[in-house]
Amino acid sequence: MSSNFKKHHEWAQHLSIVMQFGLTIAGCIIFCFLIGRYLDQWLGTNGVFITIFIILGVIGGANVAYRQILEVLEEDKKGKDSSNNDSG
């Protein structure tokens, strides 16, 4: 049973990282949409702020996801470097 976990552990870890990216982007877009909707209702405009804030949400979500990807890649590189130093 432990060999199955070891075999699928890396796959499950990658899946969780991909899901985290998707939720991050979706969360940013939804949050910005709600702000834009509130401003449109408050100011009586017809979707101007929703459009602006959705675009900002997409840009912000992509920025956060990009930084998360860089962080994961850096951790992976450090992990490989330390395993190479241990074996050599």
* Residue whose entry in the numeric block shows the structure tokens 């050599």: 88
pLDDT digits (tens, 9 = 90+) for 32-83: 999 999 999 999 999 999 999 999 999 999 999 999 889 888 887 887 777 7
Answer whether 33's CB lies under 8 Å from 50's CB.
yes
What does the block give as tokens for 75?
A: 């951790």
The pTM of this model reads: 0.73
Banded model confidence at residue 8, pLDDT cuts 50, 70, 90: confident
What is the Cα–Cα distance from 65 to 70, expressed in whole angstroms? Answer: 9
